[in-house]
Structure 1
Amino acid sequence: MKRACGFVVFRWMNGQLEYLLLQASNGVHHWTPPKGHVDPGEEDLTTAFRETEEEAGLKSTQLKVLNGFQSKISYTAWGRPKESVYYLAELRDAGAPVLISEEHSDWCWAPVERACHLVSYAEMQGVLREAERFVTGAAPDARG
């Protein structure tokens, strides 16, 4: 089974919680948080940091990982089973620039309902809603 890891990256902008989504430049041009395949021998969290920097230009020093959040989804991609693991990270500087790779054609910051509309897949919507509950409920001090 293919395995991918990434971050649900969020920021507070003008008192509103927003999530970073990237639009794939191939296939059906779907929207997802930054994620990518785990390299042989690589730790999941290391993959999440590497892929977020490669795909969105955000370095590990720009992210504050929230402990206690991990969400896994399983699905079929290109006819093969795949599992994606998402961690949760706050962008320390809400105005930091996002620099997408050639793998993506667009990006945006979106509140949870708009983000869920963009991602379209129920499993990914569940991850975003779970992240929203974690940030606003279980970790009210996350606003830092």
Structure 2
Amino acid sequence: MPKIEKSAGAIIFRRENGKIFYLLLHYPSLTHRSEKSFWDFPKGHVEKKESEIDTVKREIFEETGIKEIKILKGFKEKIKYFFRWQGQTVLKFVTFYLAETPQKEVKISSEHLDWCWAEFKKAYSLLAHQNSKEILKKAHSFLEKIYCKKSLTFSTISEGEK
């Protein structure tokens, strides 16, 4: 019987000159389910008596230093996967939310190697895991629909990339 873990995370984006940039974190090897380093979204374990949203906000701050965050209503995606950790099979459930920030500067925690803001195609190519790629596609599609309907109502940020 596998051990069960529950996590929550976010696809974080910011806008600049009409473009959407997604935040990716570079995880070292031997973390989570990979034998080599990989790029992914910020996420972490849901602690006892903590809501998923509280987990997302806490993890975003702990992993990126980002304080100013707006979680968008209407986007919530769940994935599950198995991995082996210390000889044990783990079944992990992760709920992802979509979050906007005006903050460009990121201060990663010691558990990460690097970070980057990337447009959709670059972010998609950097992501190592297929389920992360699918979540990114869904998030990007969701944002495109919002922008078409609401005519660019999100804040515009006029700064360069990392």
In the superposition, the TM-score normalised over structure 2's length comes to 0.81
In structure 2, distance between residues paired with 1:38 and 1:135: 26
Match of 2:28 in 1: 25
AA partner of residue 8 (structure 1): I
Q: What do residues 4-32 of structure 1 show as CA deviations (whole Å, max 9, x unaligned)?
A: 10111001123211100001133222211
Match of 1:15 in 2: 18
In structure 2, distance between residues paired with 1:55 and 1:134: 25
SS in 2 for 1:127: helix
In structure 1, distance between residues paired with 2:101 and 2:143: 13
In structure 1, distance between residues paired with 2:7 and 2:83: 11
- Point out the structure with the larger helix share: 1
Alignment length, in residue pairs? 139
Contact 2:40–2:128 (CA<8 Å) still a contact in 1?
no
Match of 2:139 in 1: 131
In structure 2, distance between residues paired with 1:48 and 1:98: 16
Task: Kindly report which structure 2 residues correspond to 1:58-77, keeping only aligned pairs within 5 A, or say none.
Answer: 58-59=66-67, 62-77=68-83
Contact 1:54–1:101 (CA<8 Å) still a contact in 2?
yes
Rg larger in structure: 2
Task: Kindly report which structure 2 residues correspond to 1:1-144, keeping only aligned pairs within 5 A, or say none.
Answer: 1-27=4-30, 28-59=36-67, 62-78=68-84, 79-93=89-103, 95=104, 97-137=105-145, 139-140=146-147, 141=150, 142-144=153-155
Query: 4+ residue runs of structure 1 moved beyond 3 angstroms?
Result: none
AA partner of residue 70 (structure 1): K
In structure 1, distance between residues paired with 2:127 and 2:83: 15
In structure 2, distance between residues paired with 1:68 and 1:46: 17
Using the TM superposition, name which of 123-132 and 71-80 deviates more.
71-80
Per-residue deviation, 1:89: 0.7
Per-residue deviation, 1:51: 0.3
SS in 2 for 1:132: helix
Identity across matched positions, percent: 36
Q: For structure 1, list consecutive stretches of 5 or more residues without a partner in the other structure.
A: none
In the superposition, the TM-score normalised over structure 1's length comes to 0.90
Q: For structure 2, list consecutive stretches of 5 or more residues without a partner in the other structure.
A: 31-35, 156-162
SS in 2 for 1:128: helix
SS in 2 for 1:103: coil
In structure 1, distance between residues paired with 2:24 and 2:108: 11
